[in-house]
Amino acid sequence: MNKRERISQWLTEATGEDVKPHQADVEKHPYYRAFFRCWNEQRYYEAHDVLEQLWLNTKSPDGNFFKGLIQAAGAFVHLQKHFEYPSHVKHSRRLSPAVRLFRLAQRNLASFAPWHHGLDVAALCQLLSRYGDEIIVSDYTINPWSPETAPELQLR
Q: Are the C-beta atoms of 75 and 105 separated by less than 8 Å?
A: yes
For the cut 70, the answer to whether the pLDDT of residue 17 exceeds it is no
Q: Are the C-beta atoms of 101 and 78 separated by less than 8 Å?
A: yes
**86: phi then psi, degrees, rounded to nearest 5:** -65, -25
The class level of CATH for 3-137 reads: mainly alpha
What's the pLDDT tens digit per position in 74-111? 999 999 999 999 999 999 999 999 999 999 999 999 99
What's the pLDDT tens digit per position in 37-56? 999 999 999 999 999 988 98
49: Cα within 13 Å, side-chain hemisphere = 15
